[in-house]
């Protein structure tokens, strides 16, 4: 199997995080009065995007480690 589940999870979280953070940047500051002025959408959008980037990095490192271990195996002759 060539597809690591961390790739689609990472991409999904990055996309959702960027959309949520973008909404937090573009929205009116008055809607954050209930959260004591904290821009919750921007904060959690950044957290989701960071988690997605972490998943993508881990998937890339995993594929590299898998490729390196396959290259290190001795060639078998029959």
Q: What integer is the mean pLDDT of 9-16?
A: 98
**Arithmetic mean of pLDDT, 19-28:** 96
List Cβ neighbours of 29 (8 Å cut-off, separation of 6 or more): 37, 39
pLDDT of 4 reads 86
Domain limits, the chain: 6-66
Res 5: pLDDT: 93
The answer to whether 56 and 10 are in contact (CB under 8 A) is yes
pLDDT at residue 66 tops 80: no
Cα gap 76→66, rounded to integer Å: 19
């Amino acid at each position: 199997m060539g597809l690591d589940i961390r790739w689609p999870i990472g991409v999904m979280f990055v996309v959702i995080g960027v959309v949520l953070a973008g909404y937090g940047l573009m929205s009116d500051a008055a809607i954050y009065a209930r959260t004591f002025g904290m821009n919750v959408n921007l904060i959690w959008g950044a957290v989701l995007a960071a988690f997605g980037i972490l998943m993508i990095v881990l998937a890339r490192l995993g594929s590299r480690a898998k490729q390196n271990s396959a290259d290190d195996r001795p060639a078998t002759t029959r």
